[in-house]
Homo-oligomer: A and B are copies of this chain.
Amino acid sequence: MTYCVGMMLDAGLVFMSDTRTNAGLDNISTFKKMTTWEHKGDRVLTLLSSGNLATTQAVVSLLDERTKSREEREPSLLAVPSMFQAARLVADTLREVIDEHREAGQQADSAFQATLILGGQIAGGPPRMFLIYPEGNFIEAGRDTPFFQVGETKYGRPILVRAYDPKMSFETAMKLLLVSFDSTVKANLSVGAPFDFHLYENDSLCIGPNGRVEGDDAYFQTIAKGWGDALKEALDSLPDFHL
């Protein structure tokens, strides 16, 4: 499993992904599930991936090669004219990779599936974010659904639903996401630190603050420990049930 969140704020786009992959309980590894393409002043695209690692790595590699090799330059993530076309390109590539394995005679219905979040901005258009399904179709985030989660989404959802506010700062959004990730990590072994993040500032058209929060990071530990106490206080602040 995996846990990734892409979120639209008034200030920009926020991305966070965990790094744990596992094939069975005794075969766990750390892989980056976030990829960012940038052409300064023209476009920034960030892709978060959950699902079969071979599939998602193949998708990224194919997209990556197309951005580099001259001959196969079209269609390329660095050449498509809009975020919608970028989402179509990623979705087509995803379906192509999944179909390839399916045709190879492999059986498992869901084994090669993957779900992606693509967000970013291309000069001339607004920042947009898409959730791309293994079937190759996709939906877009908007005012009503301003964030997408993929992977092990349930544990970390209630706090996002309650505390999300489009006006929040990047700093507060990072805190909210780390609380959401911590709740998930505490409940599910298949999601684990470190967590990668990227904060894209609207209309900047260049990569924003990004990095990796380790599990033993002092700030993350403060949040993880502090959140338990804060939750208990929140519960205490509500009136008890009357028998």
Contacts and interface: CB of A to CB of B under 8 A. Distances in A.
Contact of A161 (B156, B174, B186, B219): B186
Interface residues on A, range: 35 or more
Interface string A213-243: 0000001001100111011111101111111
Interface in A178-236: 178-179, 183, 186-187, 199, 209, 219, 222-223, 226-228, 230-235
Given A154-B154, A163-B231, A170-B243, A238 B223 contact: yes
A169 interface: yes
Contacts of A227: 162, 234, 238
23 contacts: A155-B157, A155-B158, A158-B183, A158-B187, A159-B235, A161-B186, A161-B187, A162-B228, A163-B232, A163-B235, A169-B240, A170-B243, A172-B241, A174-B241, A175-B235, A175-B241, A179-B235, A209-B243, A227-B238, A230-B235, A230-B237, A230-B238, A233-B237
Interface of A: 154-159, 161-163, 169-172, 174-176, 178-179, 183, 186-187, 199, 209, 219, 222-223, 226-228, 230-235, 237-243
